[in-house]
Structures are given as C-alpha cells and as structure tokens.
C-alpha cells in the first residue's frame, strides 16, 4: 500500500540527511519533489498546495534551523502534516442510544459496497456484536442475492422481504431487528455507475426511514480523484458521516486516501485490505503516515497477531523455549501461526524500515515456509524430537518424502540448531520473562 509514495518520500529524506542544516534552498528542492510525488499520486492539487505550504512554514522556523538534527525535525514535521491530512478523528462508529443501531452504506456501483457490508458485519461479530444485513437495492436483485450469500458465509443474519416499497421493508426490518435484539442493522443501498438525481432521491428516502446513526460512503481507492469527487457529491446531496476505503491493498498511488478527508471534511473510519472478510481494519492516520514514511505499522501487526495466535499454544511454546525443549514440532507450530498473519511480504511491510527503497527489491518467497512445513511433516516422531539423529540416510529419505532437496533439509536443520543455540543465551530468557510466562510454569 502506497509503496510508490513511500519510496519517493524516503528519497527526499535521504537527500536532506546529507545536508548539514536546513536552508530555504534545500527545503525548496525537497518540497518540489514532495509536491511532484503527491501530484503523481493523484492527490488533489489544492490539498497538495496547502500540505507543502504548511511543511515549508514549519521547516523554516527558528527551532528547526537551530536543531542539532534538522533531518529528524523534518521527518517529524512531515509525519505530523500527513496525520493531519489523513484525519485525526476517532475511527469508532457513532454511539447509539438504543438497539438496533442502523448503519447505512452508500456509494456508486462497483466500489465493493456489498462486500464491505459483509466485512463490517464480520468485524462487528468478532467483537461480540450481533447484526443483520439487508439490501435496499430494489432494482438490482443480484445485489440482494450476493448479500444473502455473504451473510451465510460469515454466519450473520440476513433479512429478506417480499415487499417492494422501501418504507415497508424498513418498517419490517426495524421491527424484526428489535424483536430479536440485534445490536446493528447494516443496510446495503442501491448504486449506479454514475451519480444521478434518481439515485439521490432514492437514498434520501431510505435514509429518512431508517434514521441511521452512521451513513458511510464506500469509495474505491483505486479511482483516486473520482472517488473524492463522488464522496463530496454524496456528502452534499444526502449527508455522510464517514468513509470506508476499499482496495487499499491494490492502491499504488494513494490519492484518494490523502485527499478525501480534507476535501469532504469527513473521517475515514475503515479500510478494506484484501479479499477475505477478515481483511478489514479500522483506519488509523498515524499508522498510515508511519507506513508512508517507511516506519512500518507494528501496532497493526501486533493486533493481527493477538487475533490470530492461539494464546495457550503461545504460552506452551514460551515455556518450552525457556526450558530449552524447543523441538521441530514446536518450530512447525510456530510456522503455522506465522502463516495466519498473511504473506511474508505483508509482514515485512509492517516492520520499520522494510519499506525503504533499499529493501523494496527484496522478494520474500512464501513458498519457502510451505516447503519447510513439508520437510518437517516428512520426519517421523523420533526425528522431530531428536533432530541430532538425522544422518545422511535419513536426510535423503526426508528430502524424497517432501519433494525437496537434501540441501534444503540441511539448511532447515542448520537454522533449527542455530535457533536452539540462540534460545540458550541469557538475554533471550530474560526477554521471555518479560511476558510473565515463567510465573505460569507451575
């Protein structure tokens, strides 16, 4: 996400890092590059002008000029301005006074609105909230069928009505939702390929009936300024409370994310980061700003790990590490846990400095993890518990059974023994003790 922009920003910072102090001349040169980078990323030109102007004003201030490390000051200023650009508001849904709370999704056809309705329902389900999905697209019946299928796949309720009038559908929906005690109603509305008055009137009617606590505009981030212009039109015509950006994982420019908040004055609350229903996150401007500047997104990685990793298994593994009992079976379990986080490229992208130009050409082959798993699975129980017994004959058998080479088996065993040696070091055991696993060892 935003990889091109990240690379260009870091190129500018690399140039400033070589300067002894910040001057009007070198800051002008740096800002020219930043300006071009943002315009190439399809960021609104008025937004770019204000953004660059704010950086220049702060960068030429006396505190920066007198700073012992002007480079760090510039990075700090740019990061702060990026956060302001992306919006610093809360990414929580608006509070409801009672049940059910209605959330209405609006947007043009093809932006991923129906899929996003399912992702939002799944997101709420993971947080212990019940919801019911309903389609108000009465002209495109396929949209309703798609939403019904999604509901079934994620295990969320779907409201289906034989009625053809929005008012009657909404009345029945709210009555049933209240009866069943659902926390949320998520309404997927009609869309068109372009904005027209008929669509707006239809959405105004549905909104007046449902009285949602939050109207979310769903925007395709890949469409850049078109998404921004559409969001502005929807905001002016029917009123929106927040924005959900889809296809962030495919957005190579970032123009929509960097323009939409400033232009609409509405916060981005959610982003779609992939095709799976779990590829859906709350939006945090500070994390995106850090990622653009090559500082990674460690907090999101930690949250993802907390959600995906089995806490009991992690504790058992930590205890075995402290006792130096880490077997190849434990190593296998660890690899399977890591695979739950996504591709290694995604994980590296969340780590600090991994997004810098120097590392952008480094490709991480996710198949290597699959190959490693296959090698360990080709070992018998005794070999997994006592890898030292694996001689040349056994290595040949394991290689043949896993479809890999003897050299790969040798590399795996070498890595494993190095890891075991590392785990015996005092500082590693002290690091594990910080997580208080030792107190649970019994």
What DSSP string runs through 143-164?
A: HHHHHHHHHHHHT-EE---S--
What is the distance between the alpha carbons of residues 299 and 320, in angstroms, rounded to a whole number? 27
255, two tokens:
């123009």
Nearest to 442 by CA among 323, 310, 314: 323
174, two tokens:
């709210």
pLDDT at 354: 40
Give residues with Cβ within 8 angstroms of 101, minimum separation 6: 93, 94, 183, 184, 185, 213, 214
What is the distance between the alpha carbons of residues 352 and 104, in angstroms, rounded to a whole number? 37
pLDDT at 413: 92
What are the start-end ranges of the E strands in 88-173? Answer: 101-106, 131-135, 157-158
DSSP string, 163-228: --SHHHHHHHHHHHHHHHT-SEEEEE----SS--HHHHHHHHHHHHHH--SEEEEEEEGGGTHHHH
The model's pLDDT over 322-342, given as tens digits with 9 standing for 90+, comes to: 666 678 888 887 777 767 666
Burial (Cβ within 10 Å: 0-12, 13-18, ≥19) of residue 378: middle
Q: Identify the helix (H) or strand (E) that includes residue 96.
A: none
What is the distance between the alpha carbons of residues 394 and 387, in angstroms, rounded to a whole number? 10
pLDDT at 52: 93
Rounded (10°) angle between helices 45-59 and 255-264: 90
pLDDT at 158: 95
Distances from the Cα of 174 to the Cα of 159, 184, 186, angstroms: 10, 10, 11
pLDDT at 357: 41
What is the distance between the alpha carbons of residues 95 and 15, in angstroms, rounded to a whole number? 47
Q: φ and ψ at 184, to 5 degrees?
A: -135, 150
What is the distance between the alpha carbons of residues 188 and 93, in angstroms, rounded to a whole number? 17
**What is the torsion angle, in degrees rounded to the nearest 10, for the CA atoms of residue 159, residue 161, residue 167 and residue 168?**
-120
The model's pLDDT over 68-120, given as tens digits with 9 standing for 90+, comes to: 566 777 888 888 898 888 887 778 899 888 889 999 999 998 889 999 999 99
Burial (Cβ within 10 Å: 0-12, 13-18, ≥19) of residue 90: exposed
What is the CA angle 284-286-287, rounded to 5? 70
301, two tokens:
């990685």
What is the distance between the alpha carbons of residues 256 and 264, in angstroms, rounded to a whole number? 11
Distance from CA of residue 4 to its chain's centroid? 17
pLDDT at 369: 83
pLDDT at 117: 96
Q: Extract the residue ranges of the chain whose pLDDT is less than 50.
A: 1, 297-299, 354-363, 434-442
Q: Could you give all domains of the chain from N- to C-terminal order, each with its CATH number?
A: 3-86 (1.20.120.140), 101-295 (3.40.50.300), 302-440 (1.10.260.30)
Tell which phi-psi region holds residue 175, choosing left (phi > 0), alpha (psi between -120 and 50) or beta: alpha
């Amino acid at each position: 996400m935003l990889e091109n922009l990240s690379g260009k920003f870091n190129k500018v910072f690399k140039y400033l890092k070589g300067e002894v102090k910040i001057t009007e001349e070198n800051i002008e040169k740096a800002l020219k590059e930043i300006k071009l980078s943002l315009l190439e990323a399809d960021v609104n030109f008025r937004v770019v002008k204000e953004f660059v102007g704010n950086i220049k004003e702060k960068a030429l201030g006396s505190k920066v000029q007198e700073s012992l490390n002007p480079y760090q000051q510039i990075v700090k200023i740019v990061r702060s301005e990026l956060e302001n650009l992306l919006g610093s508001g809360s990414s929580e849904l608006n509070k409801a006074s009672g049940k059910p709370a209605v959330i209405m999704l609006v947007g043009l056809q093809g932006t991923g609105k129906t899929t996003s309705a399912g992702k939002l329902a799944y997101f709420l389900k993971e947080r212990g909230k019940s919801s019911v999905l309903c389609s108000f697209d009465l002209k495109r019946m396929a949209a309703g069928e798609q939403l019904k299928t999604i509901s079934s796949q994620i295990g969320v309720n779907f409201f289906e009505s034989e009625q053809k009038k929005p008012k009657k559908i909404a009345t029945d929906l709210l009555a049933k939702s209240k009866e069943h005690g659902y926390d949320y109603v998520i309404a997927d509305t009609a869309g068109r390929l372009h904005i027209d008055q008929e669509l707006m009137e239809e959405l105004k009617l549905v909104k007046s009936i449902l009285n949602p606590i939050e109207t979310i505009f769903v925007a395709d981030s890949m469409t850049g300024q078109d998404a921004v212009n559409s969001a502005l039109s929807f905001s002016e015509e029917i009123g929106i409370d927040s924005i959900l950006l889809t296809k962030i994982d495919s957005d190579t420019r970032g123009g929509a994310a960097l323009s939409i908040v400033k232009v609409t004055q509405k916060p981005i609350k959610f982003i779609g980061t992939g095709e799976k229903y779990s590829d859906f996150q709350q939006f945090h401007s500070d994390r995106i700003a850090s990622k653009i500047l090559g500082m990674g997104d460690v907090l999101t990685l930690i949250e993802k790990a907390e959600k995906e990793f089995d806490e009991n298994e992690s504790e058992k593994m930590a205890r075995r590490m402290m006792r130096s009992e880490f077997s190849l079976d434990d190593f296998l379990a660890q690899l399977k846990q890591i695979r739950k986080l996504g591709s290694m490229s995604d994980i590296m992208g969340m780590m600090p400095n991994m997004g810098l130009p120097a590392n952008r050409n480094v490709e991480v082959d996710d198949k290597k993890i699959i190959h490693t798993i296959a090698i360990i699975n080709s070992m018998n129980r005794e070999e997994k518990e006592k890898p030292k017994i694996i001689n040349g004959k056994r290595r040949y058998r394991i290689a043949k059974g896993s479809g890999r080479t003897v050299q790969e088996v040798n590399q795996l065993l070498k890595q494993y023994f190095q890891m075991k040696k590392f785990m015996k070091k005092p500082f590693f055991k002290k690091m594990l003790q910080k997580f208080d696993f030792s107190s649970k060892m019994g």
